[in-house]
Structure formats: structure tokens, C-alpha cells
Amino acid sequence: MSKPYTAQQFSEAVPVQASDAAIRFEAVSKTFPARGGGAAVPALADLDLAVPAGSILGVIGRSGAGKSTLIRLVNGLEKPTGGRVVVDGTEVSALDEAGLRDVRRRVGMIFQHFNLLSSRTAYDNVALPLEIGGVPQATIQSRVGPLLELVGLADKRNRYPAELSGGQKQRVGIARALATQPKVLLSDEATSALDPETTRSILDLLSSINKELGLTILLITHEMSVIRAVAKEVAVLDGGRVVEHGEVFDVFTRPRHPTTRSFLSSETGHALPPFLRERLRPDASPGSETAIRILFRGRHATDPVVSQLTRDFGLDVNILSGSVDEIAGRPFGTLVVGLKADAPTIERVLSFLTSRDLDAEVIGHVS
């Protein structure tokens, strides 16, 4: 019986220098040449991004934002038209075919549609990159068994892809990507074809691989829920540029760019419930209440702010909507309150909330 894969086994093959960026995009541009009389397509423009070694960075963007192009630059499937792409200390953008083959051994990739060979069993799919690399059979055997165990498929080693569920196929894909003991794993919409429960289990597996093996993961997706479940940092790509980049908690709780805000509209408390949205008006009317949205972040998430407003300002506080959530392991709350007060009092309430390190803004008026 083969032993499970250990971090030590993994790091013997691929020593990680924790302080380094595993992937660096430096002023990277990629323009696809004009075809059939059309204009050239600028897919990426002057893009700077670093993926810290051992971390999980999620890149989110709409269709056409440049996500696939970005990921294909890492394993040299595309070459930048400007700038440099450095992976594990090697400038990929400057390599010839032989150099690229070497880098591709250090960079594993998983795909939305798994890309398994239907004529090969789970075991043989995982073994394939090793066979192609000329690895001796004994080494292949000692590596594939533990990898199938790592992804929870030890009992499915002789099954063909057609006999496996979507989640199981992606587990084979992950084991295959890890077979050459890469330092970096690229994930191209790897959970987009899976149901929510299976998505969760695959993301949990990626998290544990990241922690146990110290593997750097660059993951592209169009779903904020994926970023939220697995990533430490997030970069938002729009029109071939990074428009926002930071720790997941910071970006989720204080999104700055409109694209980020629109991605977040169905996540966290940024979206107003329909019944409130319908009642909200831009201007005050006789007898209306001013609606204030208060965001509670981290250690302030459980502050007793409603009782403070009632006590300190003598106001009746009408709670219009609210939720408390957890993002990247830290609490985050949203509360929308309605206050009947004149403009100067509302100003003082906003200053009071801001002085308590809470984000507060008037979002309209309800009658």
C-alpha cells in the first residue's frame, strides 16, 4: 500500500522560498494581431501582478477580460507582446521550446472540462505526464498511488473517466496536475462545470493542497463565491487591466471599483433585499426616513451601534435590513437603518459612526 503524499516529499523536489513571488507579471501586455481585416485585439495592457509563493490568488473578470490569456502566459502557451512573466525565478516569456518544457513541469494546470483521456483509467491519466517526461515506471508507481490517495480516489484507480462523476474527474485532473511535482498550480474555471456541493469539495481540496504542500495556486473564475471560499488575495481584471487587488476580506468589505462592486452585488450584504430596493427613493419626502447603510468589519462586527444611536441621539432606529456574515474567517455585518431626523442630525450620526471606524453612507429615503 502506497503512503500518502507528504509536504516533505513535495518540497524535496521543489524547494519553496516563502518570501518570493512565485509568479510575477511585470508591465505585461498582450495584443492579438488583426485577422481578416479586423482590428488588433488588446487582451492585456501594462499589467503588474505578483502571486506570493505558497498563496492562493484568485483572478476574477467578466468574459473577455483577459483571464485565460493571463493564465496561458504563465505556462508559455502565449507570449507577451510587452513586459515579462517570471515564474519561480525563470522569465518564461524569454524561453525557447526546451526551456518551456522544463517550466511546464513546474507548473500544473486544471481545466473547466477536466481534459482527461477517455481511453485511459484514472491511474493512467495521472501517470501520463510522467510517461511523457520519460520518468521510470518504478517512480511513476511510487508517485501515482499516493496522489490518488491525496485526492480521495484510491479506490477508483482502475475506473475510466466515463465511470466517474464530474467532481471525481476533477480530482483526477488535480492529481495529474500534481504528478510532475509542480511549484505552481493554475486553475482555469476548474469548478465552473460542477454543482455547488461538488464545487465546495474541490475548493476544499485545493485549500488543503495549498496548505499541506505549500503549492502556489493562481485561480481564474467569474464567480466571487469561488474567490471567497478559497483565495487569500483577489485581483479584479477588467478590459485587460487589474482594476483592484488586495486581501479577500478588504476587497469584499470595501470594494472600490464599480466592476468589483457589481461582482459583489449578489455576495455579502452589498445587495439590498428587493422589498427595500423598491421602497428606496433618492429624495426625502414629508415623513420619510433617511436610510443609512452601516458596514461592520472585523472587530467592530458586533458593536452595539443601534442602542448607542438610540441613547446618544435620542432617535428611534428602524432596522430595514441586516446580515452578519464571515469572509476569509473574519466577521462582516451589514445593517440598513431608517432614521427620522433632520439633515444636521444625520450628519452627526454619520460622523459618530465613522469615528467608531464603521463605514456608513446614506443610500436614500424610505416613506
In the complex, the residues that contact ligand ATP under the rule CB under 6 A are: 32, 41, 43, 61, 63-69, 222
Shortest distance in whole angstroms from residue 65 CB to ligand ATP:
4
CB of 18 to ligand ATP, least distance (A): 30
278-303 as b/e, with b when 16 or more CB fall inside 10 Å? ebeeeebeeebbbbbbbbbbeebbeb
168, 156 contact by CB (below 8 A): yes
- We find the least distance from the C-beta atom of residue 362 to ligand ATP, in angstroms, to be 36
Give the end-to-end CA distance of the chain in Å, rounded to a whole number.
70
Please list, in sequence order, all residues whose beta carbon lies within 8 angstroms of the beta carbon of residue 175, skipping any fewer than 6 positions away. Answer: 122, 126, 144, 147, 148, 150, 151, 153
Is the Cβ of residue 29 or residue 68 nearer to ligand ATP in the bound state?
A: 68
> Is residue 264 helix, strand or coil?
helix
Q: Which is nearer to ligand ATP, 32 or 347 (CB)?
A: 32
Comparison of 129 and 240: residue with beta carbon closer to ligand ATP: 240
Cell 493571463, residue? Answer: 70
Q: How many angstroms separate the CA atoms of 5 and 325, rounded?
A: 35
Which of 43/87 has CB closer to ligand ATP?
43
Q: Closest distance between ligand ATP and the C-beta of residue 49, in Å?
A: 14
Please give the order of strands across the beta sheet that includes 280-281.
Answer: 280-281, 359-366, 289-297, 330-339, 317-327
Closest distance to ligand ATP from the beta carbon of 248 (Å): 20
Residue 108: Cβ within 10 Å count: 25
Residue closer to ligand ATP, measured from CB, 32 or 261: 32
**159 or 222: whose CB is closer to ligand ATP?**
222
Q: How far is it, in rounded angstroms, from Cα 352 to Cα 367?
A: 24
Residue 34 CB, nearest distance to ligand ATP (Å)?
A: 9
Distance separating alpha carbons of residues 278 and 223, to the nearest angstrom = 26
Nearer to ligand ATP, 68 or 318 (CB): 68
Q: Are 53 and 19 contacting, i.e. CB atoms less than 8 angstroms apart?
A: yes
Minimum CB–partner distance for residue 51 and ligand ATP (Å): 17
